[in-house]
Structure 1
């Protein structure tokens, strides 16, 4: 992959917040297929959505890319039809919109995902309430919010996704940051968990979109 991988994590899914937060650390998921290196211009565009990006000061961060061989409309619909996430992402236990209509700037949604026990935190179910901060149809979406469970909390995850048509498909770029005293107490472990979650999300999105192609 062209992007920096911080501490590759062997645990299954974890929190891709803001989120695509902690998925199922309990179930290992294969890493997303590597994508060709993006150009400098693509990388620059990938860092923001309508002028906003992830938390520049956050100590916990991860980013990754994959090329999905499917129409942009298919990939976009899968990613933004929040209530259907549980149908193609096993780590998402439930997902509900807190407002009606298409996903837009200001839209809010709540979803849950399990987090297994670690040496310092108990097994719990995280509840994530996400707010869309920016969105450009079939181009990018940025959302953020907290993930809260019994004995485990991420104060804020900020999650950016961008979608760029390339030869043979769609390049999906994602990056996310976490902040909060609890996760910042062990930055390497939190970063590894974040990376595992994002890789699993990309893998599930790619697999599902390519299966539905045509």
Structure 2
């Protein structure tokens, strides 16, 4: 079994797609232990997961623009720098049962070589312009994560409130919950920043 030092080093190396290492401090609205979980058609994140994070932002763009960016997964690499490759494993529009496989680089560190994390996500629940829930494993050298990810979209004055919550389970992340939670949180903050920037740029607005 890997040592605690090795596990921690592996966690720190989890790439930007799971941890877009930018904001290490969560904004005021973010929480790692919400009272109630986000859901999509009645299903939420893993209730037993120790590693969990939830955050939100308002995007000043039409809901249709935001929804298209998020659900046209084949175009993720064009606006999410951490997404190195994307393979759609389905035909037609994104829908329940659709799966997609994407990769993101993991930089080298003293305990693990440079490698790539492969994430296979499957949509479980979805409501047009309202919510998405997908699950799936992320696998890299010395690392296995099972994730559950929920997105909620709702119109508010001046834009759209986008909320997201994700849980991770697996031997490596469970070995150091605080570090894994920090990494997950940074990743979700980065994802929201990228989505906000891309949507507002398309709309012609300014990120606020």
> Shared fold (TM-score greater than 0.5)?
yes
After TM superposition, give the deviation of residue 124 of structure 1 in Å.
1.9
Distance in 1 separating the partners of 2:14 and 2:118? 15
Tell me the TM-score normalized by structure 2.
0.82
TM-score (norm 1): 0.80
- Equivalent residue for 1:204, pick from 191, 194, 198: 194
Cα RMSD (Å): 2.5
Quote the offset at 1:123 in angstroms.
Answer: 3.2
Q: How do 1:1-214 residues align onto structure 2 when only pairs under 5 Å count?
A: 14=15, 21-23=17-19, 25=21, 28=22, 47-117=38-108, 121-154=112-145, 156-213=146-203
Unaligned runs of 5+ in 1: 1-10, 16-20, 36-42
Shift of 1:78: 0.2
Question: How many residues were matched structurally?
Answer: 189
Aligned partners of 1:119 and 1:194: how far apart in 2? 21
Asked if the contact 1:130–1:144 (Cα under 8 Å) also holds between the matched residues in 2, the reply is yes
Residue 43 of structure 2: SS of its match in structure 1?
coil
Structure 2: distance between partners of 1:119 and 1:140: 40
Q: Structure 1's 70 and 56: CA in aligned 2 closer, same or farther, altered over 3 A?
A: same
Q: Distance in 2 between matches of 1:102 and 1:171?
A: 23
Cα 1:120–1:190 change in 2 (3 A) is farther
For residues 75 and 24 of structure 2, the distance between their equivalents in structure 1, rounded to whole angstroms, comes to 22
